[in-house]
Amino acid sequence: MINRIRDMRREKGLTLADVAERCTPPTTAQTIGRLETGMRQLSLTWMNRIASALQVDPEMLVRGEESDAPKFVARLTGEGAEGLAAPREAILPSALGGDGVLVALAVEDSCGEYRAGDQVWLRQHGPEAYPRLLNRDVLVPRPGGRFAFGRMIDRDDKRVAILPPGAGTRQVVVDSPAWIAVTEMLVRKL
């Protein structure tokens, strides 16, 4: 089994020390680090403690070595849904082709057109692509590990202006971002 503690911790924006402190009873960041990397065996007790600290189900922390890839089994036409003669592998967002690194944004609170539970998949671009990103929803890194997300409404040689989603928001100006990620896909649970 492969543990997903690091993935889940990073998705929630927590440090090793944060998770260690949230465990009951509290533990050390080094212990959490060893469990993440597999240098210490992940027992059922530890799995339950860490899952509680991360506020996830314990089974979310592990995955098998081999997993069945999702498959397309049907198609929807004007006449309704019909099965495919042979199921074919579905393309996951992380397997999308294209240049640039894919990143994802988890929407935790509804904001503008985005609903709680949505996942926004974005592709990173360098400064040469910024002119093409105007009027697109983008994620922009800011100093101190923060980000700005919203519609890119203006730019010049060094700065970009982002209008966050939702009514009554104020634009955010970011100086010389290293990259900008443009929205490619919205994944919404039904």
pLDDT exceeds 90 at position 27: yes
Per-residue model confidence as pLDDT tens digits over 10-25: 888 899 999 999 999 9
Tell whether 74 is covered by a domain: no
Interval 88-100 mean pLDDT: 67
Domains: count for the chain: 2
What range defines the domain where residue 12 resides?
2-63
Contact in structure between 160 and 152 (CB atoms under 8 Å): yes
Q: Which residues contact 112 (CB under 8 A, 6 or more apart)?
A: 164, 165, 166, 167
Residues 8 and 50 in one domain: yes
Specify the CATH number for the domain of residue 120: 2.10.109.10
DSSP single-letter state for residue 134? T
- DSSP, collapsed to helix, strand or coil, labels residue 100 as coil
Residues 181 and 101 in one domain: yes
Amino acid letter, 119? Q
Per-residue model confidence as pLDDT tens digits over 42-56: 888 998 999 999 988
Q: What is the pLDDT confidence band of residue 173, given thresholds at 50, 70 and 90? A: very high
> Would strands 172-175 and 159-163 be described as parallel, antiparallel, or unpaired?
antiparallel
Interval 93-109 mean pLDDT: 77
pLDDT exceeds 90 at position 90: no
Give the torsion sign (CA, 118, 123, 126, 129).
negative
Q: Which residues contact 57 (CB under 8 A, 6 or more apart)?
A: 51
Tell whether 171 is covered by a domain: yes
pLDDT exceeds 70 at position 107: yes
Give the Cα separation of 115 and 107 in Å (integer): 7
pLDDT exceeds 70 at position 72: no
pLDDT exceeds 70 at position 1: no
What's the pLDDT score for residue 98?
72
Angle made by CA atoms 176, 181, 184, in degrees to the nearest 5: 160
Residues 53 and 109 in one domain: no
- DSSP, collapsed to helix, strand or coil, labels residue 31 as helix
- The pTM score is 0.57
Peptide bond before residue 25 is cis, with ω within 30 degrees of 0: yes
Residues 183 and 139 in one domain: yes
Residues 112 and 165 in one domain: yes
